[in-house]
Amino acid sequence: MKLYDYLPSGNSYKVRLLASYLGLSYDWINLDIHKGETQTPQYKALNPAGQIPLLVLDDGRKIAESNAILYFLAEGTPYFPCTAFDQAKCLQWMFWEQYRHEPSIAVARFIHMYKADERADELPRLMERGNDALSVMDNHLAERLFFVGNAPTIADIALYAYTHVAGEGGFTLSDYPNVTAWLDRVSDHPKHIRITDKPAT
Protein backbone atom coordinates (compact mmCIF):
# COMPACT_ATOMS: atom_id res chain seq x y z
CA MET A 1 0.00 0.00 0.00
CA LYS A 2 0.94 3.64 -0.37
CA LEU A 3 -0.09 6.38 2.04
CA TYR A 4 0.02 9.95 0.79
CA ASP A 5 0.37 12.02 3.90
CA TYR A 6 1.37 15.30 5.53
CA LEU A 7 3.16 14.70 8.82
CA PRO A 8 1.57 17.48 10.97
CA SER A 9 -1.96 16.62 9.80
CA GLY A 10 -4.21 15.08 12.42
CA ASN A 11 -6.30 13.47 9.70
CA SER A 12 -3.23 11.75 8.29
CA TYR A 13 -2.05 10.86 11.79
CA LYS A 14 -5.22 8.84 12.35
CA VAL A 15 -4.23 6.48 9.55
CA ARG A 16 -0.61 6.19 10.69
CA LEU A 17 -1.76 5.49 14.24
CA LEU A 18 -4.14 2.69 13.28
CA ALA A 19 -1.57 1.24 10.88
CA SER A 20 0.92 1.15 13.75
CA TYR A 21 -1.60 -0.58 16.04
CA LEU A 22 -2.24 -3.18 13.34
CA GLY A 23 1.40 -3.62 12.38
CA LEU A 24 0.74 -2.73 8.74
CA SER A 25 3.54 -1.91 6.33
CA TYR A 26 3.17 0.66 3.59
CA ASP A 27 5.11 3.11 1.46
CA TRP A 28 4.92 6.58 2.98
CA ILE A 29 4.78 9.59 0.66
CA ASN A 30 4.87 12.92 2.48
CA LEU A 31 3.37 15.87 0.60
CA ASP A 32 3.80 19.45 1.80
CA ILE A 33 0.39 21.08 1.56
CA HIS A 34 1.95 24.54 2.01
CA LYS A 35 4.01 24.05 -1.13
CA GLY A 36 0.98 23.02 -3.15
CA GLU A 37 2.12 19.43 -3.50
CA THR A 38 -1.45 18.15 -3.19
CA GLN A 39 -2.62 20.46 -5.97
CA THR A 40 -0.44 19.19 -8.78
CA PRO A 41 -2.03 17.50 -11.81
CA GLN A 42 -0.19 14.30 -10.90
CA TYR A 43 -1.66 14.14 -7.40
CA LYS A 44 -5.13 15.28 -8.46
CA ALA A 45 -5.16 12.40 -10.93
CA LEU A 46 -5.02 10.18 -7.83
CA ASN A 47 -7.35 12.27 -5.64
CA PRO A 48 -9.31 14.95 -7.50
CA ALA A 49 -10.15 16.62 -4.17
CA GLY A 50 -6.47 17.47 -3.75
CA GLN A 51 -6.43 16.44 -0.09
CA ILE A 52 -4.54 14.09 2.16
CA PRO A 53 -4.57 11.41 3.42
CA LEU A 54 -4.98 9.08 0.47
CA LEU A 55 -4.48 5.33 0.66
CA VAL A 56 -3.61 3.48 -2.55
CA LEU A 57 -4.03 -0.26 -2.26
CA ASP A 58 -1.72 -2.81 -3.82
CA ASP A 59 -4.19 -3.35 -6.67
CA GLY A 60 -4.38 0.39 -7.39
CA ARG A 61 -7.75 1.11 -5.80
CA LYS A 62 -7.83 4.34 -3.83
CA ILE A 63 -9.52 5.47 -0.62
CA ALA A 64 -9.64 9.10 0.50
CA GLU A 65 -11.06 10.72 3.66
CA SER A 66 -9.35 9.75 6.89
CA ASN A 67 -12.32 8.15 8.63
CA ALA A 68 -13.22 6.10 5.56
CA ILE A 69 -9.66 4.78 5.54
CA LEU A 70 -9.95 3.94 9.25
CA TYR A 71 -13.14 2.00 8.58
CA PHE A 72 -11.55 0.05 5.73
CA LEU A 73 -8.44 -0.87 7.69
CA ALA A 74 -10.23 -1.67 10.94
CA GLU A 75 -12.97 -3.96 9.65
CA GLY A 76 -12.45 -7.44 11.08
CA THR A 77 -10.00 -6.21 13.73
CA PRO A 78 -10.55 -5.41 17.43
CA TYR A 79 -10.69 -1.70 16.54
CA PHE A 80 -14.12 -2.01 14.91
CA PRO A 81 -16.85 -3.48 17.13
CA CYS A 82 -18.67 -6.72 16.35
CA THR A 83 -22.28 -5.71 17.00
CA ALA A 84 -24.30 -3.55 14.63
CA PHE A 85 -25.25 -1.17 17.44
CA ASP A 86 -21.65 -0.58 18.54
CA GLN A 87 -20.54 -0.25 14.93
CA ALA A 88 -23.19 2.44 14.46
CA LYS A 89 -22.01 4.20 17.63
CA CYS A 90 -18.47 4.12 16.33
CA LEU A 91 -19.56 5.73 13.08
CA GLN A 92 -21.70 8.22 15.00
CA TRP A 93 -18.66 9.56 16.82
CA MET A 94 -16.56 9.57 13.63
CA PHE A 95 -19.20 11.57 11.76
CA TRP A 96 -19.44 13.95 14.72
CA GLU A 97 -15.65 14.33 14.75
CA GLN A 98 -15.64 15.54 11.17
CA TYR A 99 -18.73 17.74 11.50
CA ARG A 100 -18.38 19.35 14.95
CA HIS A 101 -14.90 18.64 16.32
CA GLU A 102 -12.37 18.88 13.49
CA PRO A 103 -13.81 22.06 11.90
CA SER A 104 -13.19 24.00 15.11
CA ILE A 105 -10.26 22.38 16.93
CA ALA A 106 -8.19 21.51 13.88
CA VAL A 107 -8.85 24.84 12.17
CA ALA A 108 -7.93 26.81 15.30
CA ARG A 109 -4.68 24.83 15.47
CA PHE A 110 -3.98 25.53 11.79
CA ILE A 111 -4.54 29.27 12.26
CA HIS A 112 -2.31 29.40 15.34
CA MET A 113 0.45 27.51 13.57
CA TYR A 114 0.34 29.04 10.10
CA LYS A 115 -2.13 31.94 9.69
CA ALA A 116 -2.14 33.84 12.99
CA ASP A 117 -1.75 37.26 11.35
CA GLU A 118 -4.26 36.69 8.58
CA ARG A 119 -7.12 34.82 10.25
CA ALA A 120 -7.03 35.79 13.94
CA ASP A 121 -10.57 37.18 13.73
CA GLU A 122 -11.90 33.64 13.21
CA LEU A 123 -10.50 32.36 16.50
CA PRO A 124 -13.16 33.50 19.02
CA ARG A 125 -15.90 31.57 17.25
CA LEU A 126 -13.65 28.56 16.71
CA MET A 127 -12.69 28.58 20.40
CA GLU A 128 -16.34 28.66 21.43
CA ARG A 129 -17.26 25.76 19.17
CA GLY A 130 -14.14 23.79 20.06
CA ASN A 131 -14.76 24.13 23.78
CA ASP A 132 -18.34 23.02 23.23
CA ALA A 133 -17.00 19.90 21.49
CA LEU A 134 -14.53 19.19 24.27
CA SER A 135 -17.35 19.53 26.81
CA VAL A 136 -19.43 16.97 24.93
CA MET A 137 -16.46 14.60 24.99
CA ASP A 138 -15.74 15.22 28.66
CA ASN A 139 -19.33 14.53 29.64
CA HIS A 140 -19.44 11.35 27.57
CA LEU A 141 -16.23 10.09 29.16
CA ALA A 142 -17.35 10.78 32.72
CA GLU A 143 -18.43 7.15 33.17
CA ARG A 144 -16.59 5.47 30.29
CA LEU A 145 -13.02 4.46 29.55
CA PHE A 146 -13.41 4.81 25.79
CA PHE A 147 -15.99 6.22 23.39
CA VAL A 148 -17.55 2.87 22.46
CA GLY A 149 -17.23 -0.16 24.71
CA ASN A 150 -14.37 -0.92 27.04
CA ALA A 151 -11.47 -0.89 24.59
CA PRO A 152 -10.15 1.59 22.03
CA THR A 153 -11.82 1.65 18.62
CA ILE A 154 -11.44 3.77 15.53
CA ALA A 155 -13.82 6.24 17.18
CA ASP A 156 -11.11 6.88 19.78
CA ILE A 157 -8.39 7.08 17.12
CA ALA A 158 -10.44 9.56 15.08
CA LEU A 159 -11.05 11.79 18.09
CA TYR A 160 -7.60 11.44 19.60
CA ALA A 161 -5.79 12.80 16.55
CA TYR A 162 -6.75 16.46 16.88
CA THR A 163 -7.76 16.41 20.55
CA HIS A 164 -4.29 15.55 21.84
CA VAL A 165 -2.83 18.60 20.03
CA ALA A 166 -5.73 20.93 20.86
CA GLY A 167 -3.36 22.95 23.05
CA GLU A 168 -1.60 24.03 19.87
CA GLY A 169 -4.89 25.64 18.90
CA GLY A 170 -5.20 27.58 22.15
CA PHE A 171 -7.48 25.16 24.02
CA THR A 172 -6.84 24.36 27.69
CA LEU A 173 -7.12 20.60 27.93
CA SER A 174 -6.69 20.64 31.72
CA ASP A 175 -10.22 22.09 31.87
CA TYR A 176 -11.45 18.66 30.71
CA PRO A 177 -10.17 16.05 33.19
CA ASN A 178 -12.08 13.15 31.66
CA VAL A 179 -10.66 13.97 28.25
CA THR A 180 -7.11 14.21 29.56
CA ALA A 181 -7.44 10.87 31.36
CA TRP A 182 -8.76 9.32 28.14
CA LEU A 183 -5.86 10.80 26.17
CA ASP A 184 -3.50 9.04 28.56
CA ARG A 185 -5.33 5.75 28.10
CA VAL A 186 -5.15 5.99 24.32
CA SER A 187 -1.47 6.91 24.31
CA ASP A 188 -0.71 3.99 26.63
CA HIS A 189 -1.14 1.56 23.72
CA PRO A 190 2.09 -0.47 23.27
CA LYS A 191 2.24 0.44 19.58
CA HIS A 192 1.43 4.11 20.05
CA ILE A 193 3.26 6.61 17.85
CA ARG A 194 3.40 10.38 18.09
CA ILE A 195 2.05 12.70 15.40
CA THR A 196 5.64 13.77 14.67
CA ASP A 197 6.95 10.22 14.21
CA LYS A 198 7.85 9.44 10.63
CA PRO A 199 6.92 5.93 9.54
CA ALA A 200 9.76 3.54 8.84
CA THR A 201 10.44 3.33 5.11
pLDDT tens digits along 22-68? 999 999 999 999 999 999 999 999 999 999 999 999 999 999 999 99
Domain that residue 165 falls in = 84-187
Of 35, 55, 74, the residue that ends a domain is 74
Question: What is the average per-residue pLDDT within 5-15?
Answer: 97
Q: Return the SS3 of 71.
A: helix
Q: What is the CATH number of the domain that holds 179?
A: 1.20.1050.10
pLDDT at 117 over 90: no
Q: List helix spans (H) across 1-65.
A: 10-22, 41-46
If one counts the domains in the chain, the total is 2
Q: How far lies 27's CA from each of 57, 61, 71, 80, 127, in Å?
A: 10, 15, 20, 24, 36
**pTM for the whole structure:** 0.96
Question: What is the average per-residue pLDDT within 183-187?
Answer: 98
Residues 89 and 69 in one domain: no
Task: Give the rounded percent of residues in the chain with a pLDDT score beyond 90.
Answer: 96
pLDDT at 3 over 70: yes
Nearest-angstrom CA–CA distance, 183 and 163: 8
HSE of 99 in the Cβ direction (CA atoms, 13 Å)? 6
